Amino acid sequence: MIYDISQPLGVRTAVWPGDQSVELGWTMQRRQGDAVNVAALRLSVHAGTHVDGPLHFRDAGATAGAMPLDAFIGAAIVIDARGRESLDADLLDSVDLATTPRVLFRTRETVDPDVFPEAVAALTTSLVERLGEGKARLLGTDAPSVDPVDSKTLDAHRALARAGIAILENVVLTHVPPGRYTLIALPLRLVEADSSPVRAVLMTERLG
């Protein structure tokens, strides 16, 4: 079975306050006499479900297209963390990071892609340290950020980067039972952008 954990991406999609909204136009349309329909898209690379690249918070960080792809494909675990104000290390007490090095947290009851949340369950230092000790490859959340919405220092982003852990944000896990899966969430090969939208899926079957 395949679970699509990507937010629907359209002109109504909520973006970070002040960021570029999603705009879609047409450069060619059959109804105007063209042979084909061709859409033109303008959006922030942080719109909808996306991967944060190191360049997002470090001037010398890697671009989206330079990130190692193996972090975004492989064994993952979905953890139900609803009701938490923050994500703490105890959430990993029963997780074997050696066999499921990609960890995705469900923190919200529902995800409305057209509404930006007022607050998020951010990562604690102890959780990031535990992920680093276990050599985790990726941290995913159904929130638009792994840090508090009002953070200016982005401590969790920086700590995850130091530990070599990729960041996947704005996933949708409301229809996904907690447990083990295979994750595929590849960033686009954007050679200059800091981050990238992704089409993220979870598979119940392991890749052959």
Residue 89 lies in a domain: yes
- For residue 141, the domain's CATH number is 3.50.30.50
Q: Is residue 158, in this structure, part of any structural domain at all?
A: yes
pTM: 0.96
Can you give the pLDDT at residue 161? 96
Buried b (16+ CB within 10 A) or exposed e, 104-132: bbbbbeebebeeebeebbbbbeebbebbb
Predicted local distance difference test score (pLDDT) of residue 111: 94
Is 80 inside a domain boundary? yes
CB of 106 closer than 8 Å to CB of 79: yes
State the average pLDDT over residues 141-149. Answer: 97
> Which residue range is the domain that position 192 belongs to?
2-203
> Residues 6 or more apart from 184 whose CB is under 8 A from it?
72, 73, 200, 201, 203
Helix, strand, coil in percent for the chain, rounding step 5 = 15, 25, 60
The answer on pLDDT for 208 being more than 60 is no
The per-residue pLDDT for 204 is 95
**pLDDT given for residue 206 in this prediction:** 66
**Which pLDDT band, with edges at 50, 70 and 90, does 193 fall under?**
very high
Instruction: Answer whether residue 69 shows pLDDT above 80.
Output: yes
On whether residue 55 sits in a domain, the answer given is yes
Number of folded domains that form the chain: 1
Mean pLDDT value of segment 161-168:
97
In this structure, is residue 90 part of a structural domain? yes
Q: Which pLDDT tens digit goes with each residue over 91-139?
A: 999 999 999 999 999 999 999 999 999 999 999 999 999 999 999 999 9
Residue 111 lies in a domain: yes
Does residue 208 lie in a domain region? no
The percent of residues above 70 in pLDDT, for the chain, comes to 99
Which pLDDT does position 76 carry in this prediction? 98
Q: CA 82, 73, 196, 51 torsion: positive or negative?
A: positive
Which of 169, 180, 182, 191 lies closest to 48 in space, CA to CA? 169
pLDDT-derived band of residue 89, with 50, 70 and 90 as boundaries? very high
Residue 155 parent element (H or E): helix 155-162
List beta partners, residue 139. Answer: 103, 167
Q: Give the pLDDT of residue 207.
A: 61
In a domain, 103, yes or no: yes
According to the model, what pLDDT value does residue 15 have? Answer: 97
For the annotated catalytic residues, the residue numbers are 56
Contact between 71 and 138 (Cβ < 8 Å): yes
48 vs 199: CA distance, rounded Å: 10
Q: What is the pLDDT of residue 205?
A: 74
Among candidate residues 149, 176, 164, the one with its CA nearest the CA of residue 4:
176
Across the chain, mean pLDDT equals: 96
* Average pLDDT, integer, range 67-95: 97
Residues 6+ apart with CB under 8 A from 186: 69, 72, 73, 198, 199
Nearest Cα neighbor of 197 from 163, 165, 170, 159 is: 170
